[in-house]
Structure 1
Amino acid sequence: MGSCLTAESRSPLPGSPLSPHLANMKRRNSKKRLGSRNSSFEYWKDEPLHRIPGRVFLNGSTDVASLFTQQGKKGTNQDAMIVWENFGSRTDTVFCGVFDGHGPYGHLVAKRVRDHLPLKLSAYLDVNISSKDALGLNAAGSMNCEDMDLLSVDEESRASEDLKETGKHPEIFETLKESFLKAFKAMDRELRTHRSIDCFCSGTTAVTLVKRGPYLVIGNVGDSRAVLGTRNKHNSLTAVQLTVDLKPNLPAEAERIRKCKGRVFALADEPEVTRVWLPNNDSPGLAMARAFGDFCLKDFGLISVPEVSYRHLSEKDEFVVLATDGIWDVLSNQEVVDIIASAPARSSAARALVEVAVRAWRYKYSTSKVDDCAVVCLFLDSNLNNLSIASNGKTKVEGDDDNDNVKENRDVLTPLIQSGVVEEVVVEGNEEINSDGGMDWSALEGVSRVNTLVNLPRFVPEMEDEKGLLQ
């Protein structure tokens, strides 16, 4: 639900005072900063990121992915997302990520990580591949002391694999794993020394993936999640969770935090949410065990080391959904997979999922504020026939020739309707869409029967507004 609990963590005002204890810690922490340091990534500083071909970070869709984020009711949208095709200048590689910021400057941290983590990952990947090609050695053989220090915490990254894989991991996994570890460490180090973003009580999650050919490697910190939609032996679409929600209620995470003198417990009025607290102060109450930023807790067990996992994709694997906890707090893995599969078009899949999640928030947590939501759906096959084309301002209603498809989609939605997650709606003919390209769902409230399904238009990427609400 909430990432940070204390007023210090949630205040949106730049000049909000910290408690005396946190203020003293912050002053001590600032003395550790080294200022601007020479970095191999300095040449990216003025790079016009929005002009890089294949890089999409706003609401929209590409030939292989659908993206959508929507601001909740808690203030500025702190979620961010990205899809980067031809990643690392390779046509068979794509990078995806979603980031859930928290704290007073969480939106700035999430955007910074969205923009710069892929650059660091690409650079480290190039270096690792080049060194192996040139020397014929494992890249660890040419690491400096700082890199070796990073790998000393490698045991915190529990590499998992497809259960069907019984042999050794392919070399590309070891290379990508090493690159993920280095890039995440470099990203957190940059945030610590950043002059214009205060990351002391602000941070972000990150669930990221690199798909290279049939190989999928995921790097994850925090409680955003990746789920795979795949076919089982009965050809039924099934959800497979690819990441672990790295929360402080996990025994291994709690043990690490306590060994570092941090405290782990839930409050009496929300026993289901375990949080991380400072040793001698009831703050900040962070609801995750790993995150970028949040340097007030980095000496007390919070880490930014990613859990790196691997899967060898097969023809039964159809898509991967990356989403922030605004989705997973109200929908199960299987419900998410069913909603994506039943979307009228691939280009509208992410938006359809967010629409359902928002309605589920209002149904399940009527007294709580709806959380920000961000979704990236990466389709794994090359079939582009399901991608819809932008209409002329009307939604396209399925005709008689598509009755079988409509029935199949309705069958998929039936269990969601029965559980109360999706409300039944009736659409009489063509419905007007609102100005941002979505259905006016409020006009459909209270109707009791599904007569037909409609296609949402393909989304045209929007320009980020001045307030930073669209990401």
Structure 2
Amino acid sequence: MGSCLSAESRSPLPGSPLSPHLANMKRRNTKKRLGSRSSSFDYRKDEPLHRIPGRLFLNGSSDVASLFSQQGKKGTNQDAMIVWENFGSRTDTVFCGVFDGHGPYGHLVAKRVRDHLPLKLSAHWEANISSEDASGLNAAGSMNSEDIDLLLVEESRASEDLKETEKHPEIFETLKESFLKAFKAMDKELRTHPSIDCFCSGTTAVTLVKQGTYLVIGNVGDSRAVLGTRDKNNSLTAVQLTVDLKPNLPAEAERIRKCKGRVFALADEPEVTRVWLPNNDSPGLAMARAFGDFCLKDFGLISVPEVSYRHLSEKDEFVVLATDGIWDVLSNQEVVDIIASAPARSSAARALVEVAVRAWRYKYSTSKVDDCAVVCLFLDSNSNNLSIASRGKTKLQPGSKNEVDRDDDKEKDNRDELTPLIRPGTIEEGNEDPSKHEEMNSDGGTDWSALKGVSRVNTLVNLPRFVPGKEDEEGLLK
């Protein structure tokens, strides 16, 4: 699979005679399902986003990052990801994020958040910087009592780095306020979106902003960020940067119960704690915070991010952001080892996904593989290890004792050859419409079995996965 990156600013504008995208759009069959029309409309309306240099959102790589996502066996790929270099017109700043959608229209929610959350974060960041002198007073005056209570909760769960410092760096205070406002504005937009039904659909979001040696992370849901760093013995070790915000956490469960929501696990999956409506055994959401899911927003579910900070050192090598399709089957240390042993940085994310898929089939042969999305951000400026993936097959080094031998899996899914990855600021020749790559066809049905002993799977119960072609008859899209 080739990469789909942002085009140069000199690309033809939409509607011009030189625009291949518009010409291909006109040739499409007009008799499409409602979900596709909505997705195509959103892409055409926001087409300038896909032309910003340094903005990657599909499989590929750049000088500082590697991205890869693969559809599982449960239906359409509901994962989304982004790397945005020169974020906010700052040459030393990078924005990264992965988003794991759930519910009937989680794929639409995840892509909407991927495209619009960075814009909102950048706008609030600029506004906060311009009013820096009065930021403390403005922040207190612009938040209601509920927001203040939630901020107090966040302060009690600050990162270890913050506990060790007497004074937070200015960039953290500014970005924390920006994260809180941007996430709130994003959820408000989803509530009133005219064509995406978010009542029983939503998405996680683990995002970060790296500026120089400062790393600020905003997290909602159970996707995860892990740092690969060197310890005192110079051994590569994993440091988890985020907390999986699930209902089994005491503070999260207490908040939900105070809002009349119910928190319990089903008898056949005792390790998966879920959120339920007060008087109805649905939807059974396996996370305590998320964008969307407005059926639960009055009963304890929130979209307020947990914001944390880390001051990077020379020992820190890379950060991995990934959806739970990775963490369900691989430990933090296994993930770090796999990234470090990848044949090239440009193929590191793909190598990790391939190992995770094989681990799913080996550990849970009766269950369907989950969607996987990975963003690997390399923190050092040394580009000597960067290379474009060759056309030969990638040889993966074993990441751990739990990794499956390659000979055990003879299926053709992961036997395709790696194609060259395109540099940032270009669109791969022959890819007429980047949105086509996001609408991946499903090769499986909607029935899938639960994993035994895994506390991160089955995000929702009593709610269907997205099934292509059924939107019109079910009437779920408004």
Give the secondary-structure state (helix, strand or coil) at the position aligned to 2:275.
strand
Q: CA deviation at 1:272?
A: 1.1
Contact 1:207 1:218 survives alignment (8 Å) = yes
Counterpart CA distance in 2 for 1:14 and 1:331 is 43
Q: CA deviation at 1:226?
A: 0.3
Counterpart CA distance in 2 for 1:405 and 1:32 is 36
Partner of 1:238: 237
| 1:308–1:2 Cα change, 3 Å | farther
Q: CA deviation at 1:458?
A: 33
Q: CA deviation at 1:161?
A: 3.9
| 1:396–1:369 Cα change, 3 Å | closer
Counterpart CA distance in 1 for 2:275 and 2:5 is 10
Contact 1:338 1:413 survives alignment (8 Å) = no
Pick which of 100-109 and 29-38 moved more: 29-38
Pick which of 70-79 and 11-20 moved more: 11-20
| 1:89–1:269 Cα change, 3 Å | same
Q: Deviations over 1:20-43 (max 9, x none)?
A: 999999999999999999999999
Q: CA deviation at 1:277?
A: 0.6
| 1:27–1:94 Cα change, 3 Å | closer
Counterpart CA distance in 2 for 1:354 and 1:308 is 27
Counterpart CA distance in 2 for 1:276 and 1:7 is 42
Q: CA deviation at 1:132?
A: 1.2
Q: CA deviation at 1:160?
A: 1.6
| 1:441–1:277 Cα change, 3 Å | closer
The alignment covers a number of residue pairs equal to 466
| 1:230–1:75 Cα change, 3 Å | same
Counterpart CA distance in 2 for 1:229 and 1:276 is 33
| 1:120–1:233 Cα change, 3 Å | same
Contact 1:3 1:102 survives alignment (8 Å) = no
Q: Deviations over 1:184-208 (max 9, x none)?
A: 0000000000010000000000000
| 1:98–1:328 Cα change, 3 Å | same
Unaligned runs of 5+ in 1: none
Q: Deviations over 1:310-351 (max 9, x none)?
A: 000000000000000000000000000000000011001000
Q: CA deviation at 1:467?
A: 19
Say which structure, 1 or 2, has more relative contact order (CA 8 Å, 6+ apart).
2
TM-score by length of 1: 0.73
Q: CA deviation at 1:159?
A: 2.8
Counterpart CA distance in 1 for 2:296 and 2:361 is 33
Pick which of 246-255 and 432-441 moved more: 432-441
Q: Deviations over 1:98-144 (max 9, x none)?
A: 00000000000000000000000000000000111699977656779
Equivalent residue runs for 1:48-87 within 5 Å: 48-87=48-87
Give the secondary-structure state (helix, strand or coil) at the position aligned to 1:128.
helix
Counterpart CA distance in 2 for 1:433 and 1:64 is 27
Counterpart CA distance in 2 for 1:259 and 1:3 is 46
| 1:163–1:460 Cα change, 3 Å | farther
Q: Deviations over 1:432-471 (max 9, x none)?
A: 9999999999999999999999999999999999999999
- The answer to whether the aligner puts 1:117 opposite 2:117 as a matched pair is yes
Pick which of 131-140 and 291-300 moved more: 131-140
Give the secondary-structure state (helix, strand or coil) at the position aligned to 1:319.
strand
Pick which of 38-47 and 344-353 moved more: 38-47
Pick which of 126-135 and 93-102 moved more: 126-135
| 1:291–1:19 Cα change, 3 Å | farther
Give the secondary-structure state (helix, strand or coil) at the position aligned to 2:383.
coil
Contact 1:85 1:95 survives alignment (8 Å) = yes
Q: CA deviation at 1:247?
A: 0.4
Identity of aligned residues (%): 90
Q: Deviations over 1:37-79 (max 9, x none)?
A: 9999999964621001110000000100000000000000000
TM-score by length of 2: 0.72
| 1:201–1:430 Cα change, 3 Å | closer
Pick which of 401-410 and 249-258 moved more: 401-410
Pick which of 159-168 and 284-293 moved more: 159-168
Q: CA deviation at 1:158?
A: 3.0
Contact 1:221 1:246 survives alignment (8 Å) = yes
Pick which of 393-402 and 279-288 moved more: 393-402
Partner of 1:414: 419
Counterpart CA distance in 2 for 1:150 and 1:34 is 38
| 1:458–1:335 Cα change, 3 Å | farther
Q: CA deviation at 1:165?
A: 3.5
Counterpart CA distance in 2 for 1:26 and 1:445 is 48
